[in-house]
Amino acid sequence: MERSPSLEKELDRLYEAFSHGDGDVVDELVTSRPGLVFVGTDPDEWFESIAEVRGMLQAQSGAGITVEHGRPHAYEEGTVGWVADRGRFVLPDGRAVPFRVTAVFHRENGAWKLVQQHASIATANEDALGTEL
């Protein structure tokens, strides 16, 4: 496996699409093939089609939240690539909420397509489970 600057750029494009409600970029970056799984930070954000991802983007586009990357780690091997990042959501009032994301891409017809993503807002075990692990 090798570092993948091209996948770091694709992650940036995805963040820009979510920051500006750009459904066209989502159509370019997300697979339309069966097998897509897109998990967001909210318990109800579990999507298995590009139409569902696009619908979520449209529903959230007026919130004024921008997405900023941290220091993504992107790698590829053949037709598969993956990215992990610690980014942040920046709210309209300037507050920043850190999140974590992993994403898997597959090369389809020469272009990287997102096939799986999982984002989360980290919570300490003590807060989530009532105990330190």
Residue spans of the domains in the chain: they are 2-124
The pTM of the whole model exceeds 0.85: yes
Crossing angle of helices 5-20 and 50-60, in 10° steps, is 50
Q: Check if CATH label 2.60.90.10 holds for domain 2-124.
A: no
- Please write the tens of the pLDDT for every residue from 43-67: 999 999 999 999 988 888 878 999 9
Q: What is the pLDDT along the chain (133 residues), one digit of tens a residue?
A: 999 999 999 999 999 999 988 888 889 999 999 999 999 999 999 999 999 999 988 888 878 999 999 999 999 999 999 999 999 999 999 999 999 999 999 999 999 999 999 999 988 889 888 888 8
